[in-house]
Structure 1
Amino acid sequence: MEQYKGKIAILGSGNIGLSLAKGLVKANYVSPSQISLTRRNVAGLDAYAAHGYHVSTDNAAVVANADIVVLAVLPQQLNQLLDQIKGVLDVNKQLFISVASGVSCADVRNKLADQAQVVRAMPNTAIAIGQSMTCVATDNASEANVKEVVRMFETVGAVVKINEDLMTSATALCACGIAFFLRAIRAASQGGVEIGFHADEALKMAVQTAKGAADLLLQMESHPEQEIDKVTSPKGCTIAGLNEMEHNGFSSSLIKGIKLSAEKAGALYTKE
């Protein structure tokens, strides 16, 4: 991959921000010296400083020298952050990437400058191992800037470009979705304990089975029901188990949970 030549500021170096930084360096998209990380307490970034990343508590100073600015704070902290940096912007040169849930591109531009180039990205925590599902959207950014954001996040997983009005839905399905699938794996492992396995054995078996199911769909490019049909024989044990789960609302509860998470994601940010 051709290295990006500019400087990247990641404001709010929590799990997502730090995972992105590590992923970009691991994929040789940039070197550590091209990335600045900010946090209120930089003591937590000592290990990154030792590896050549710039670390700072001064968001404005970091933004003044950046080409790409990643807004990686919680939605509740975003307005304060935007107030800190709006005096040092160069909107003709800088690209802003927001990973804050429920915050539109227009919301960010209203706080910064109307002509600012803003792209929303919604990764999930699998970004830490280069397996994120990241959705990307914008309302005004140039095609070149969107391509750069896609290229950036493809270094840490898969990327899909979507319409911006679907971003809160993407949050529920992909970002919150990690927790839903983890809970399903946990439940399967608990079932394994009930039928005789030790907890560590049951968890390993459930995890690998879930990974196998996902890889089947990815590599075979098939539909879940196609693969389910291959495991369900007449009067068999698989269909009996599936039907019992459905009688108890398995699919319905998952669908309802995703819908509720989408509603919550859309209400996390207050414009004022």
Structure 2
Amino acid sequence: MKVHIIGGGNLGVAIALGLSQFSPENKITITRRNVSSITYLEKLGATVTSNNVHQIEEADVIILTIKPYQVDMVLTEILPYVSQKIVASAVSGLSIEKLQEKIGNTNSAIRIMPNIAAQFGASATCIAFHEKDTMQAQQVVSLFHTLGTAPIIDEKLMDAATVLAASGTAFALRYIRASMQAGIEIGFDWQTALAISAQTVKGAAQMLLEEKIHPEQLIDRVTTPQGCTIAGLNEMEMHGFSSSLIKGIKTSLKQIKG
């Protein structure tokens, strides 16, 4: 596929890096006004340009990784060159209906919510679309399957997906940081503590994804009667570990919905 990414910020670059490494058969174009900061992507085979319409007529899918306030300006610029295209939007708060209205019925509107782990082929990219665009959407699903997982969800859950999958990256990193800090307190230097904490989280996530079971089943494997693990878990729960995380996720969702 020929993939045209408009918006060379953190997310757009992560998608371009991921596709270049894990799906190199695709041809990638990425745009950014200040193009000098992303020219290194050319070494991976991507076309980098400050012109949003550069080769856009050849694209199979156009991915919008821009800010909400930029949408109308960008679409006004590109729509004279866009027909019979898949437009996949990662713009927060922009509904499929509104996007379809803006791009016209000759194009297909798909809503996506990747995260920056796409760079490493480890994104959880939620995808929503209307039934009439199922065939086109499957192409987008296949594309993002190369960058991690790509669950199809109801559009009404897209704001929740933003919190769980995108904001969730920050929440997971905050856990790793806290674990690292505890590691320093119990005797490790920060580099070793970080390496152990990050790999442990990676391993736990991989077990869940591979075995497809409830987290408590895996927790049971590492907790023994009167052991150190259950003592630590109980202490964390007494101080609101799970409830704080749940409240944080719900607060983030409330912020999105305004």
Fold shared, TM-score > 0.5 on shorter chain: yes
The TM-score with structure 1 as length reference comes to: 0.87
Aligned to 2:39: 46
Percent of residue pairs bearing the same amino acid type: 42
Residue 82 (structure 2) pairs with residue 89 (structure 1)? yes
User: Any conservation in 2 of the 1:134–1:157 contact (CA below 8 Å)?
Assistant: yes
Aligned to 2:15: 20
Query: What secondary structure does 2:29 align onto?
Result: strand
| Matched ranges for 1:71-90 at <5 A | 71-90=64-83
Amino acid at match of 1:17: G
Q: Which runs of 5+ in 1 are unaligned?
A: 268-272
Distance in 2 between residues matched to 1:118 and 1:244, nearest whole Å: 48
Q: Which runs of 5+ in 2 are unaligned?
A: none
1:86-114 superposed Cα distances (whole Å, 9 cap, x missing partner): 33321xx2110001122111121222214
Aligned to 2:90: 99
Aligned to 1:183: 174
How far has the Cα of 1:52 moved from its partner? Answer: 4.2
Distance in 1 between residues matched to 2:215 and 2:38, nearest whole Å: 42
Asked which structure has the greater RCO (Cα within 8 Å, sep 6+), the reply is: 1
Aligned to 1:270: none
Distance in 2 between residues matched to 1:182 and 1:215, nearest whole Å: 16
| Matched ranges for 1:73-222 at <5 A | 73-90=66-83, 93-139=84-130, 141-222=132-213
Aligned to 2:62: 69
1:125-167 superposed Cα distances (whole Å, 9 cap, x missing partner): 1101111111110125522111100110011111100111111
Query: What secondary structure does 2:174 align onto?
Result: helix
Pick which of 56-65 and 223-232 moved more: 56-65
Which of structure 1's runs of 4+ aligned residues deviate more than 6 A?
none
Amino acid at match of 1:89: V
Query: What secondary structure does 1:96 align onto?
Result: strand
1:7-53 superposed Cα distances (whole Å, 9 cap, x missing partner): 3211111222222223223234534xx32221111222322345543
Task: Give the RMSD, CA atoms, in angstroms.
Answer: 1.9
Distance in 2 between residues matched to 1:16 and 1:257, nearest whole Å: 23
Query: What secondary structure does 1:160 align onto?
Result: coil
How far has the Cα of 1:205 moved from its partner? Answer: 1.5
How far has the Cα of 1:256 moved from its partner? Answer: 0.9
